Amino acid sequence: MFSTYLKHGWLKLARSRGFGREIGTMIAIGFLSLMILGYLLALGFYLNTLLSEVFGVSDTITYLNGLLIYYIVYDFLLRYFLQNVPVMDIVPYLHLPLKKSGMIHFILLKSIFKPINLISLVVFGPFAFTVISESYGNVTAWSWISSLLAISIMLHYLMIIFKKKLDGSPTGILVIFLLSILTIGADYLGWFSLRPVSSQLFNLTLETPWLLTLVFIAGTFLSYTIDFKYFKRNLYIEELEVKTQSEARITPGLSYLSSLGRVGELISLEIRLIVRHKKSKMMLVLSGALLLYGLIFYRDPAMMEELPGFSIFVGVFITGIFMLNYGQMLFSWQGKHFDFIITQDITLKDYIKSKYYLLAGVSVVCFILSIPYVYFGWWVLLCYIAVILFNLGVNIFVLMNFAMWNPKPMDLNKSSMFNYEGIGAAQWLMGIPILVGPYVIYGPLTFTLGQYWALAGIAIVGLIGVIFHQKLIDYTAKRFLAKKYAIASGFRQE
């Protein structure tokens, strides 16, 4: 039956209206994947030289074994952003006398054939068959690389069940966040290191070949079995219908927004759009993760003393990260049902106002979450206060007006990684005035009055925008009124 499923999948693709575009996309992605794997293969051949000559490591095998735990964590995080849950249109087969287990095996086995599953083999294979093979023999080299490949496949199947159960939920986001902090972040910040544990663990594959490898292979089969049982329990139309009904209650607790009138209802609908679709949900997750961006900059006190104005850039980025990520495609998110929106009994001012309050509300939340950065000095907090006012009074309106420039529709259920749907020239350019805008005020005032007066100037300009935000909303609504039919026409043509 596997050949039949493959044939049906090919016929479905070949008979679709977008066959040429899909083939072109597949060729482009395939070429990009081969190019990336080629670079990684080159890295693999020079890995030993890089460790010994550039980093001055004498025992490269032990040193690399100590780093493998971080590679595994990075692989898991990379899969969270890049790996999709394997899918198959199983409804046409459910009424036929076909074994459901065969469908599930087909789905799970087909999902292995992804370039991401070859990364460990490509990067560490040359090292195994040169350095390790020379020191420990070919059998040990095969055992070592087989362990890494088994771990990679095990992570592949663990990510499938992770995404099916926890993707986009608060628990799933918390797991990703804690995993990043407690491994890579903890080592980077000097809290603790897992390198000794990793070194001892993978040294076992050198001392007792195949023993630990068999353990990892058993873990791979266990993760496969977990996925198989999960899919088998849910491979029924009834289960799919129950899931669809439960998704209607994914955003409880938003009823209070209805008390704010039509604007509150529009905000509530947009929040539901964000949390129910893969691409917008990923934007929200990335915005939360990038709140830690300041830890990279503030760890170096000397840099803060030499470039105090750089805290403004960090502040704009941290307090406005959701505004930048989501707002750059502000109208494209609703491109598929834009005609429905503009034909409803909704004033354009309320529509624009709901966009403003949504971006402003999340920006304020990001500012509150960034307050602990005061640990690095009061100057940092003052910068964040100034830039949040500037974001609320100036940058949001710049963003909304740029977003009207030829927006493009997108598929909200596609991953955001390597997906450029909805992104045009405006989206590439709008980040420049938003990130540079505060320096137009800060630069001249710093050289004339000093950096504190310059910071006050940024805050005052932003405060003026906040005070007159209703006027700015009226102006934005008028521009939107003049452009709404052109925007709707552009969405229909895509």
- Interval 227-254: pLDDT, tens: 999 888 876 544 444 344 434 333 444 5
Helices then strands, each counted (H, E), the chain: 27, 0
Q: Which residues of 12-43 are buried (b: 16+ CB within 10 A; e: fewer)?
A: eeeeeeeeeeeeeeeeeeeeeeeeebeebeee
Among the ranges given (147-161, 301-315, 365-379, 439-453), the one the predictor scored with the smallest mean pLDDT: 301-315
Locate 115 and state its tokens.
């370039």
Q: What percent of the chain has pLDDT over 90?
A: 12
Rounded CA-CA distance 418/124 in Å is 25
**Contact 136/205 with Cβ under 8 angstroms?**
no
pTM of the model: 0.60
Residue 402 has pLDDT above 70, yes or no: yes
Give the ranges where 307-430 is alpha helix by DSSP (H).
Answer: 310-319, 321-327, 338-342, 348-370, 378-390, 396-403, 425-429
pLDDT of residue 223: 93
**CB-based contacts of 362, cutoff 8 Å, min separation 6:** 287, 322, 323, 326
Residue 146: the pLDDT is: 93
Residue 185, pLDDT score: 65
Least confident of 275-279, 354-358, 359-363, 433-437: 275-279
Q: Taking Cα atoms as reference points, which of 71, 242, 87, 51 lies closest to residue 147?
A: 71
> Predicted confidence band at 327 (pLDDT cuts at 50, 70, 90)?
confident
Whole-number pLDDT of residue 39: 87
pLDDT digits (tens, 9 = 90+) for 336-356: 777 677 777 678 788 888 888
Going by pLDDT thresholds of 50, 70 and 90, the confidence category of residue 90 is: low
- Taking the C-alpha atoms of residue 293 and residue 313, their distance in angstroms, rounded to an integer, is 11
Contact 403, 327 (CB under 8 A): yes
Per-residue pLDDT band for 320 (boundaries 50, 70, 90) equals: confident
Q: Quick: pLDDT tens for 206-216.
A: 888 888 889 99
